[in-house]
Structure 1
Amino acid sequence: GGRAAGSDIWRMKLEMNADAFRRLAGYAPQCQPADLALALTTLWLGRLCNRMDYAAGFIFMRRMGSAALTSTGPVLNVLPLAVHIDAQETLADLAMRLAAQLKKMRRHQRYDAEQIVRDSGKAAGDEPLFGPVLNVKVFDYQLDIDGVQALTHTLATGPVNDLELALFPDETGGLSLEILANKARYDEAELRRHVARLTALLAQFAADPALRCGEAEMLSADELARLAAVNDTAVPLPATTLSALVADQARKTPDAPALADAHWQFSYREMRQQVVALAQLLRQRGVKPGDSVAVALPRSVFLTLALHGIVEAGAAWLPLDTGYPDDRLRMMLEDARPSLLITSADQLARFSDIPGLESLCYQQPLAAGDEAPLALSKPDHTAYIIF
C-alpha cells in the first residue's frame, strides 16, 4: 500500500569533496556538473538497493517563460524519472542519458503527479509513483541587497514520504547535498553510514573516470574486512587420499559398522577387505593409475564398494545413472573411454554393443584374502568424472 508522508524528518547536510568533484567534472567536459551530480546520486541509490532499474521523483519548477521564472508562488511539480543503470557504462554515460531524459520531461512539467495517478487508474493510497525524490538546485544563493550581504534560511519543508535529496552544484565547481529522510523509515546512524558510501563513490570516480557503474565498490574498508573474516573458513587438509583415510579408520575401529543396505552389512575391517580385493581384481583386468572406470550399479553396498575399489586402484570413477536413455549412456562412455565397466547382470545387455568396452559384473561380495593394499591412489590423481 501507499506510504504516509511524514513531517518528522532527519535533515542532513553534506559538503562533498570539492577537489574530487572538480576532477570528476574535468574528466567529463561534455557533461554539466549538475548532471554528473545527479548521475552519482542515482547510481548510489540504485547500488544501495541493488536495483538497476527504479523510479525516482524529480522536482520541476513548472515555470515556463520569463514571467513565470521571476514570479513568487509555490508551483513545483514532482514527476517520475525512470532510472536505468547499465553496469558497463561510465558515470559520464549515465549523466548524459539522464540529461537527455530530463530534457524530454521538461515539456511535461505541468502534468501534475496527482493527475498521472488518476490517469493511470490508481488511487491516492496505492503504491506511490516513485520512491526517493531528487532536486537539483542550480541557483545563485549570493544575496546582495544594496550592498548588504544576506543569508537564505529554510523555514520549513513539505512532508517527506521516503527520502529527498537536494543537490547544490556551486559556481566554484563544488557540490553540497541536503538529505531529508522520513524518521519512520530511516535510522540516523544507518543513514550516515549510507551517506559515507556516497562520499566514497565520488572518490572512486574522481580517481578513475573510466570506472564502470557496476564495478564501483559500495562497501567500506571495515565492511570488507568483516566479510573477509566471516568468509575465512579455509581449513588446512592433510595431503592424503580417501583410501588412506578409510584404511586408517579401519585400523582404529575394525569391528564398527561401516556400510549396510537392506541385504548386506560390513564392518570397517570387512569393507576394507572387499575394497582391497576389488582393487586387486581391477588391476588384474588391466586398470592402471590414471585410468577411468565406469560404474552402472543400483544404489547398494556394492556401488559404494566399487567406488572405493576404483580409488584404491588409483583410477577415477565415472558414474552412470541407469535411469538414463541408452543413447546418453553410450555418448558418455564413448567420450570418457573408460578402461572397464562395473555393472550388474541385469544391466549388462545395455552395454554389450559398445566396441572395446570390457565389463565386470559385481553384485556379490568377493572372497576376502590377505592381499596387501595396493596404495596406488595419490592426492593429485583425478577422483571422478561427471557429465
Structure 2
Amino acid sequence: MQEGLLFHSRYEQDGADVYAVQHVFDVRGALDAARLRAAVRALLRRHPNLRAGFRQVDSGQTVQLIPRQVELPWEESDLSSLPAAEAEAELARIAAKEHARRFDLAEPPLLRFSLVRLAAEHHRLIMTTHHILLDGWSTPILVRELTTLYGSHGDAAALPRVTPYRKYLGWLAGQDRPAADAAWREALAGLEQPTLLTPVDPTRAARMPERLTVELDEDRTAALADWARRQGVTMNTVLRAAWGLVLSRHTGQDDVVFGTVVAGRDPQLPGVEAMVGLFINMVPVRVALDPARSLRSTVTRLQEEQTRLTVHHHLGLARIQQLAGTGDLFDTAMVFENYPWDETGEPPDTELRIAPDLGRGRDATHYPLTLIAAPGRRLYLRLDYRDDLIDRDTAVGLLDRLTRALTIVTADAERPTGRIDLLTDEERATLSAVPDRVPRTAGATLPGLFEAAADKTPDTPAVVCDGATLTYRELDERANRLAHLLTARGMGPEHVVALALPRSADLVIAVLAVLKAGAAYLPLDPEYPHARLTHMVTDARPGLLLTTTATRDHLPAVPGTPVLLLDAADTSTDLAGRPTHSPATVLAPDHPAYVIYTS
C-alpha cells in the first residue's frame, strides 16, 4: 500500500493531495499546551516509523529513512476572544490551510499538529498526516497513548513496550508470494472485463471529492446485524454484496469488481492489534451475480470466497491486477471502518478528555467513487464522488439503491438477484410518466417495417457510404435480389448466414437481405484472430458465408460451410436476374434474427 501511495504522491503533483489525512480532536479540560506538545514528541520517539521519510537510493529502490530525531511541526492559535461563529469559521480556515499544504515524502516528519484554543478548557487539536504513515486503526491507539503520555509528562514508561513496525515488515517479507499469486489468479479467473464507471485517464489531476452521507435508523441497523449474525456472515460482507448488486445494475454487468480496504493486521503477528503504522491494503472484491441465485446464497458464497483470500491480503494491488491481465480492474472503492474508538477510556489520573470530532476529518482516495461504511447503533454510509466525473444526481441514486438493497436483505433475502428491482419510487414514477411515443408494431417484422418506409419515401437517401448513396427504393430492390438468391441456396427461418464484409453499403444490403429471407445473420470481423473466428463459425454452424474475394483471404478455413463471394462475376450475373420484389417467405417475430458473440 505504501508503494501505491508513494506512486500517487510522485505522479499527481498538480492536483490536490487526496492522501493527506486530517483528524480533528475535541480536547476538554484544563490544558497545558507545552505538556501536550511534549507528549506528542514522546510519541515520535516511541514509534520510529512516525519519523519516516521515503527516498530512492542509488539502486533505484525506495526505502524508508528513519532519522534519529525530527523537529515537530507544531502551531498554536488562540480564538477564545472571538464570537463562537467567527471562531468556528477561523478554525475551519486553519484546518483547510493545513490540509492543503502538500507533504514532500522525502522530508520527514510527514505529520503536523495545530492546537487551537476556543475557550479556557476547550481546545481542538488538528493532526494532519500523510496516509503513507498511518492507517485508521492506528489513530485511536495514538490518542490513547497521547492521553497517557500527557498524564505522565511524556514518560513512556507508563505505556507497554512497543512492538516495532519493523517486525511487521519482516513478517510481510516472509509471506508465501507464489501461494498468494495462485490464490488471486484463481479468484479472478474468467473475469472478462473491469468494472469502470468513468473513462480511464492517467493524466487526470487529483481532486478532493464531494460527499453524501446517510444513516440507517436503529431498527433497520439492528435487523441487518441480526440477519448477518444468523447467516454466519459479517456486516462487511453484506455491504460488499449489496454494493456489488448496485454496481451491477448501474453498469449492466453481472460480474463486477470493486476495491476494498483490508486491515492487513494478521493475528499470527504478536502485538499487531496495538501496533502503529500503515498495515492496510487495497484488494479487489469480485461479485459474480447469478440471476437465479437468491440474495442470501449470494451473500454466503461471497463470504466463503472472501474468507479464502484473507491470508493473501498482503499481495499488492499492482501485482493482483497484473495477474488478472485486464489493466485497472475497478474505479470504485469501499471502506468498512470499524476502529476501536469505543475502547479509548482515559486513565484515571488524566484531567483531559480527547475525542475525535468525526464531522471535521478529511480523507479521500484517488478513485472517482468511494463508499465508506461504519457500524454502530445507526449504520453510517458515506459516498465520496468526484463531481467532475459523476454528477450529484447519479451519486444520490447510487446511495439510494444501496439502502434499498440493504432493506431487501432483511425483507426478502430469498428473492433471486435477477428479480431484485432497485429503482426508487420516484424513479419508477418518472418512468411511468414518460409518454409512450413508440408506434404499436405488434406482430410486425423488421423487413416489413423497412418495406413500409420504402413505400412511403422511396426516393429518400437510405445509405451513404464513401460518396455513394442508395435511396430506400434502391436499397430495397438490391436487398430483395440478394434475398431471393439466399432462399434459392436454402436459407430461411431458423438458419444462420455469416457475414464477413467490410463496412460498406454491401454490408447493409446483406443484413437486410438475410432478414428478408427469414434467416439470422452472424457478423464476423475479419480482424479477429483466426482461433476466435473458427470458434464462432464452429459454434453457430452457419448454413452460408457471405464475403468478398479480398476478405476471404483473411478468414480461416471453414470446412462444410458454403461460401458466396458477393464480388464474384457469376454472383453479379445471378443477382441481376433475380426479382426485385420481396421473397414470399413467411416471417414471424420469434424467428432468430441476429447471432452475436460478445467479448
TM-score normalised by structure 1 residue count: 0.54
2:566 paired residue number: none
Tell me whether 1:90 sits opposite 2:291 in the alignment: no
Worse overlay, 141-150 or 107-116: 141-150
The answer for unaligned runs of 5 or more in structure 1 is: 237-257, 260-298, 301-320, 330-383
1:229 paired residue number: 433
Letter in 2 for 1:128: D
1:190 paired residue number: 394
Q: Distance in 2 between matches of 1:196 and 1:116?
A: 31
Q: Which of 1 and 2 has greater Rg? A: 1
Letter in 2 for 1:91: L
2:385 paired residue number: 181
The 1:159/1:127 distance shift into structure 2, 3 A limit, reads same
Q: Distance in 2 between matches of 1:109 and 1:322?
A: 62
Secondary structure class of the residue paired with 1:129: coil
Tell me whether 1:8 sits opposite 2:190 in the alignment: no
Secondary structure class of the residue paired with 1:228: helix
Secondary structure class of the residue paired with 1:46: helix
The 1:109/1:175 distance shift into structure 2, 3 A limit, reads same
The 1:201/1:81 distance shift into structure 2, 3 A limit, reads closer
1:150 paired residue number: 355
Q: Distance in 1 between matches of 2:393 and 2:489?
A: 63
Tell me whether 1:159 sits opposite 2:361 in the alignment: no
Q: Distance in 2 between matches of 1:127 and 1:326?
A: 46
The 1:164/1:385 distance shift into structure 2, 3 A limit, reads same
Instruction: Tell me if the contact between 2:241 and 2:287 (Cα under 8 Å) persists in the aligned partners.
Output: no
Aligned residues: 250
2:412 paired residue number: 208
1:18 paired residue number: 218
Q: Distance in 2 between matches of 1:58 and 1:7?
A: 20
2:101 paired residue number: none
2:17 paired residue number: none
Tell me whether 1:129 sits opposite 2:335 in the alignment: no
Secondary structure class of the residue paired with 2:259: strand
1:22-101 to 2 correspondences below 5 Å: 22-27=222-227, 29-30=230-231, 31-64=233-266, 65-101=269-305
1:351-362 to 2 correspondences below 5 Å: none
Secondary structure class of the residue paired with 1:189: helix
Letter in 2 for 1:62: G
Secondary structure class of the residue paired with 1:138: coil
Letter in 2 for 1:164: T
TM-score normalised by structure 2 residue count: 0.37
Instruction: Tell me if the contact between 2:383 and 2:395 (Cα under 8 Å) persists in the aligned partners.
Output: no
The 1:108/1:187 distance shift into structure 2, 3 A limit, reads same
Q: Deviations over 1:113-158 (max 9, x none)?
A: 23445x5598xxx942322112222333323223747235364324
Letter in 1 for 2:285: L
The 1:232/1:121 distance shift into structure 2, 3 A limit, reads closer
Q: Distance in 1 between matches of 2:491 and 2:388?
A: 60
1:169 paired residue number: 375
Q: Deviations over 1:52-81 (max 9, x none)?
A: 112211211222224222111123211122
Q: Distance in 1 between matches of 2:286 and 2:206?
A: 24
Q: Distance in 2 between matches of 1:151 and 1:175?
A: 18
Q: What is the Cα deviation at residue 106 of structure 1?
A: 1.8
Q: Distance in 1 between matches of 2:205 and 2:487?
A: 60
Instruction: Tell me if the contact between 1:58 and 1:78 (Cα under 8 Å) persists in the aligned partners.
Output: yes
Structure showing the higher helix proportion among its residues: 2
1:226-265 to 2 correspondences below 5 Å: 226-230=430-434, 232-233=436-437
Q: What is the Cα deviation at residue 328 of structure 1?
A: 9.2
The 1:79/1:210 distance shift into structure 2, 3 A limit, reads same
Instruction: Tell me if the contact between 2:255 and 2:289 (Cα under 8 Å) persists in the aligned partners.
Output: yes
Instruction: Tell me if the contact between 1:6 and 1:182 (Cα under 8 Å) persists in the aligned partners.
Output: no
Quote the RMSD (CA, aligned, Å).
3.8
Q: Distance in 1 between matches of 2:216 and 2:333?
A: 19
The 1:57/1:222 distance shift into structure 2, 3 A limit, reads same
The answer for unaligned runs of 5 or more in structure 2 is: 1-199, 441-454, 457-475, 478-483, 493-584, 589-599
Q: What is the Cα deviation at residue 105 of structure 1?
A: 2.0
Q: Distance in 1 between matches of 2:370 and 2:487?
A: 59
Letter in 1 for 2:265: R
Percent identical pairs in the alignment equals 19
The 1:102/1:162 distance shift into structure 2, 3 A limit, reads same
Instruction: Tell me if the contact between 1:12 and 1:180 (Cα under 8 Å) persists in the aligned partners.
Output: yes
The 1:2/1:60 distance shift into structure 2, 3 A limit, reads farther
Instruction: Tell me if the contact between 1:144 and 1:150 (Cα under 8 Å) persists in the aligned partners.
Output: no
Worse overlay, 143-152 or 215-224: 143-152
Q: Distance in 1 between matches of 2:324 and 2:271?
A: 35
Secondary structure class of the residue paired with 2:329: coil
Q: What is the Cα deviation at residue 323 of structure 1?
A: 6.5
